[in-house]
Amino acid sequence: MAKTSPGNCFEDFRIGQVIRHATPRTVTTGDVALYTGLFGARFAVQSSDAFAKAIGYPRAPVDDLLVFHIVFGKTVPDVSLNAVANLGYAGCYFRQPVFPGDTLSALSEVIGLKENSSRKTGIVYVRTTGYKDEGIPVLEYVRWVMVRKRDEAAPAPGDHVPRLPTVLDPNVLGEACPPIELPAYDTALSGSPYRFGDYEVGERIDHVDGITVEEAEHQIATRLYQNTARIHFNQYNEGKGRFGRRLIYGGHVISLARALSFNGLANAFHIAAINGGRHVAPLFAGRTVFAWSEVLAKAQVPGREDVAALRLRTIATADRPCADFPLKSGDDYDPSVLLDLDYWVLMPR
Amino acid sequence: MAKTSPGNCFEDFRIGQVIRHATPRTVTTGDVALYTGLFGARFAVQSSDAFAKAIGYPRAPVDDLLVFHIVFGKTVPDVSLNAVANLGYAGCYFRQPVFPGDTLSALSEVIGLKENSSRKTGIVYVRTTGYKDEGIPVLEYVRWVMVRKRDEAAPAPGDHVPRLPTVLDPNVLGEACPPIELPAYDTALSGSPYRFGDYEVGERIDHVDGITVEEAEHQIATRLYQNTARIHFNQYNEGKGRFGRRLIYGGHVISLARALSFNGLANAFHIAAINGGRHVAPLFAGRTVFAWSEVLAKAQVPGREDVAALRLRTIATADRPCADFPLKSGDDYDPSVLLDLDYWVLMPR
Amino acid sequence: MAKTSPGNCFEDFRIGQVIRHATPRTVTTGDVALYTGLFGARFAVQSSDAFAKAIGYPRAPVDDLLVFHIVFGKTVPDVSLNAVANLGYAGCYFRQPVFPGDTLSALSEVIGLKENSSRKTGIVYVRTTGYKDEGIPVLEYVRWVMVRKRDEAAPAPGDHVPRLPTVLDPNVLGEACPPIELPAYDTALSGSPYRFGDYEVGERIDHVDGITVEEAEHQIATRLYQNTARIHFNQYNEGKGRFGRRLIYGGHVISLARALSFNGLANAFHIAAINGGRHVAPLFAGRTVFAWSEVLAKAQVPGREDVAALRLRTIATADRPCADFPLKSGDDYDPSVLLDLDYWVLMPR
């Protein structure tokens, strides 16, 4: 009997099915250092225990996206090993800060299934929850992927498309952020004087800098998350494929864009939620990633006088500086666009 | 007087000579994180403090091969700086788990010397022991290397070929593994339902996935072990050499094969011993490593009801998927084969 | 209003101006591990908690150059984002050891300004101090850079060239080094029998080995320091520039030379001060770095019987072994020379 995991095909899923994912993972300051080396983020709260403590955290929390990537990575062998395409995510929000020493695990529930008309594939919707020790939820999101069927003739295992939020309600946004001591939030150390009140809806920010990605970098990052998706690591196979190259994990672009966004959004210290994200085009090694952001909305977080939320749209591009905010070319995306990400960040008021 | 170390030549060794190696090295969660980023292993015991504690470890132990590589690295400046070839290892077994915070050091005893008929080189056999704080042995192995003579006319410093075990006795296999709480060993979290009893002698497992190696990756790994062998780092010299390329440290292939073997052997959580290994061909950056394994034997470990041992042979290849278990081509190895490794792993019963 | 930082132009600086830099940074064993993986240094004091404790440190201190790079990185966005050239440093000395867990921050004072005759640029001199928790200075240095003017017609903001030391006085050299238990300093573990007394002024040491640098390596290193200088990361821009390549951070060469210098200077366990350094030529990925050193002077450290100081000049080259100590070619540097560094190290007596 084969002992290797073939992953699940479309007909293997059931509505309501709950999948506990391998492998639990203790996050350490080692992961944090490597993440810093790979992306170079400079947000003071995640970089400095002293800064984090001064404003009310017990110590520097782990970068929100590092938590996301580790949780996401665990779901790959069960959910998307036979995926044809990652179609989207929605309703992602952070519920507790994660600190070095916490052990992360993940569980997914199948909340939707829809066979495609070709009968060769179907769309699987899962709600994934990341936990830290003793079952405390730290992160929740819905993701949907197009998965191959093993057997075209197999009956569809279900037929339900869940209703998904297009934007997270501001009242969930503060859960992973402790009360912030505003007088201790030192904007010389954080790198920018601009707080919540300084941003306006519709404002656009070119994040100016660019980062060229090397194969070793995205491979190290994606393995750090124990994400096993084959297309990121196997040049022998991918060299024969559609692109002739290893595809870079889409989350790598998100982390690069977030690191670049420091220049212009230095006080957006916490990603509270990701409303949705679209990987418009694949990224390959050797290309240089740029980014710009637009403020889509501003919101008070109920019960919070210390922080408030900006809803941002961040666009990442390849080999295309963003001084003129590239986005569309006619009805389509500009060919340089890699990522279109809609998310909520918290800023001090 | 030259203060750089020229390394030892064949005539510098003596039977019974004991060499205390530089540099002691404290292993940290930083090393663990970087090792994860470089190889992407997913064994739950090494990945999660919570999982490790639940089954009886005080916390997640350091990956056995990371311990091996660090100990091995220390011996290079004294044993193999003037090596022409690494010929083999034998009798490698792990005697204590290593945890972040432990400081590793290494000591070698010369146990054999045999001049080659050319009188230009000789074979040096050393038994190396790795220690952690206060002299606790964590690892022991024998290695033999062909070393240049400084002066062909020099008399051979000894003439003795030690008897070496071809396979470690199962009664040494449990030393580095605490008693395991089997009920707490959660096979959903560990990534596979297959335990010791599910494997059969002669069973072959294709580990399916492939990993392409980049120059930066093997250099970072090999420096992490403070292994100074010149052929891994110096393109200026190697570019003029036989291969025109930097050679990748053989241990890198072992670690890649081990990480790949998770797919099919997820519960083989501990390498208890390495019976022997042969680096059949060199690996170069840009190539994609695949692997497959055969179960050579099964053994009870005396006094242990919790775990038992599989003797595995793992073959790693370059640019050659392993669905058909490539090994020999006539009397020789298949030209794709990089590594032929014979070792014992422990699995829960 | 633009929220991205444009960096300071020459006319933005004032003599006496004090700049508190973002982002504070807690150094961890993760940073130490990654630094080891990137450079492979083998100095026992920094590598082993056990060795460090035995001789009088509370634990292994963080490598002096890692501290330097992190502090330096913080100054880039404020001081040298619009730099045309890094001209030099002087008067760099270490005042306290840094340990994992310490949070580093940096502050600079403008101590000199000199407009160039072209009126397009000016030279800015800053004295930077790195601090650890609660304002303890760990490092101090002067750096001067040529910075663009925004407006050629703007008046020069000052006109003063500070007097700088060409060599640090030995009486500042011991500050970051606790009293050393000489009997516990084990030269088998440290990798060399040669102590302070074994070195002579004028002695030259070829460090023998070479290390080839990959793009991923210098990018990961430079991001680890949160150094944002654009020329290191952005191939899209640099591909159109003078070199057509990303320039490697000059500090990367210093760290490589220091790691190479272990072979010949294994007991030079602490860089106590950097008298001055010149980046003679840029380094690009793919080149192999070699190094050699000359003992410029020897000095007692006032009040210290345990350690004494060697003043070293270390030369790093690209693609040029250093057996014949390459330095000058006529009046100019040999074209292979990358770095000419003058510094004080401490050694056990």
- Out of B30, B103, B236, the one facing C32 most closely (by C-beta) is B30
Interface of B with A in 297-326 (CB under 8 A): 319, 321
d(CA C219, CA A37): 8
Please state, as a whole number, how many other Cβ atoms lie within 10 Å of the Cβ of residue B88.
16
d(CA B232, CA A30): 25
| In the predicted structure, residue B1 carries a pLDDT above the cut 70 | no
- Out of A22, A34, A230, the one facing B209 most closely (by C-beta) is A230
Q: Do C189 and B20 touch (CB under 8 A)?
A: yes
Q: Do C211 and B234 touch (CB under 8 A)?
A: yes
Residues of C with CB below 8 A from B4's CB? 205-208, 263-264
Burial class (CB in 10 A: 0-12, 13-18, 19+), B213: buried
Mean pLDDT score, B281-307:
97
Whether residue B26 is preceded by a cis peptide bond, meaning omega within 30 degrees of 0, is no
Residues of B with CB below 8 A from C185's CB? none
Q: What is the pLDDT of residues A154-165, one digit of tens each?
A: 999 999 999 999
| In the predicted structure, residue A265 carries a pLDDT above the cut 90 | yes
CA distance C81 to chain B (A): 28
| Mean pLDDT for chain A overall | 96
Question: Which spans in A267-327 are helix H?
Answer: none
Q: What is the pLDDT of residues A51-81, one digit of tens each?
A: 999 999 999 999 999 999 999 999 999 999 8
Q: Do C220 and A266 touch (CB under 8 A)?
A: no
CA distance B191 to chain C (A): 27
- Which tokens is A177 given? 């952020």
Asked whether the ipTM of the predicted complex exceeds the cut of 0.90, the reply is: yes
Q: Do C224 and A33 touch (CB under 8 A)?
A: yes
The residue in chain A having the minimum alpha-carbon distance to the alpha carbon of residue C235 is A212
Residues of C with CB below 8 A from B220's CB? 37-38, 217
Closest CA to A99 of A37, A38, A32: A32
CA distance C267 to chain B (A): 11
Number of cross-chain residue pairs from B and C with Cβ atoms under 8 Å apart: 141
For chain B, the three-class secondary structure string (H helix, E strand, C coil) is CCCCCCCCCHHHCCCCCEEECCCCEECCHHHHHHHHHHHCCCCHHHHCHHHHHHHCCCCCCCCHHHHHHHHHHHHHHHHHCCEEEEEEEEEEEECCCCCCCCEEEEEEEEEEEEECCCCCEEEEEEEEEEEEHHHEEEEEEEEEEEEECCCCCCCCCCCECCCCCCCCCHHHCCCCCCCCCHHHCCHHHHCCCCCHHHCCCCCEEECCCCEECCHHHHHHHHHHCCCCCHHHCCHHHHCCCCCCCCCCCHHHHHHHHHHHCHHHHCCCCEEEEEEEEEECCCCCCCCEEEEEEEEEEEEECCCCCCEEEEEEEEEEEECCCCCCCCCEECCEECCCEEEEEEEEEEEEC
Which phi and psi (to 5°) does residue C88 adopt? Answer: 175, 170
CA distance A215 to chain B (A): 7
Interface of C with B in 258-277 (CB under 8 A): 263-266
The residue in chain A having the minimum alpha-carbon distance to the alpha carbon of residue C233 is A211
Interface of B with A in 58-87 (CB under 8 A): 60
Which pLDDT belongs to residue B2? 85
Please check whether residue A248 touches B, CB under 8 A: no
**Chain C adjacent subunits, 3+ CB pairs under 8 A:** A, B
C-alpha B54, offset from chain centre: 27
Which pLDDT belongs to residue A1? 58
How many Cα neighbours within 13 Å face the side chain of B116? 15
* β-pair partners for A208: none
Please check whether residue A178 touches C, CB under 8 A: no
Please check whether residue A329 touches B, CB under 8 A: no
Q: Are B270 and B261 in contact (CB under 8 A)?
A: no
Please check whether residue B241 touches A, CB under 8 A: no
Residue to substitute from A31, A36, A38, A195, interface C, most C β-carbons within 10 A: A36
Distances (CA, A) of A139 to A71, A177, A276: 8, 13, 15
Distances (CA, A) of C239 to A38, A209, A232, A280, A285: 21, 15, 26, 25, 15
d(CA B318, CA A274): 40
For every one of its 349 residues, what pLDDT tens digit does chain C have, with 9 covering 90 and above?
589 988 899 999 999 999 999 999 999 999 999 999 999 999 999 999 999 999 999 999 999 999 999 999 999 999 998 888 888 899 999 999 999 999 999 999 999 999 999 999 999 999 999 999 879 999 999 999 999 999 999 999 999 999 999 999 999 999 999 999 999 999 999 999 999 999 999 999 999 999 999 999 999 999 999 999 989 999 999 999 999 999 999 999 999 999 999 999 999 999 999 999 999 999 999 999 999 999 999 999 999 999 999 999 999 999 999 999 999 999 999 999 999 999 999 999 9
Amino acid in position B76? V
Closest CA to C219 of A17, B344, A38, A47: A38
Please check whether residue C233 touches A, CB under 8 A: yes
Closest CA to C88 of C275, C225, C221: C275
**Chain B adjacent subunits, 3+ CB pairs under 8 A:** A, C
d(CA C138, CA C341): 21
Closest CA to A295 of A269, A315, A270: A315
| Mean pLDDT for chain B overall | 96
Please check whether residue A257 touches C, CB under 8 A: no
3-state SS, residue C276 = strand
Closest CA to B196 of B342, B305, B94, B291: B305
Which phi and psi (to 5°) does residue B44 adopt? Answer: -65, -35
The residue in chain C having the minimum alpha-carbon distance to the alpha carbon of residue A36 is C224
CA distance C229 to chain A (A): 9
Angle at B218 between CA B214 and CA B220, to 5 degrees: 110
Please check whether residue A212 touches B, CB under 8 A: no
Residue to substitute from A21, A28, A34, A131, interface B, most B β-carbons within 10 A: A28
The residue in chain B having the minimum alpha-carbon distance to the alpha carbon of residue A230 is B209
Whether residue A23 is preceded by a cis peptide bond, meaning omega within 30 degrees of 0, is yes
- Which tokens is A298 given? 């501003």
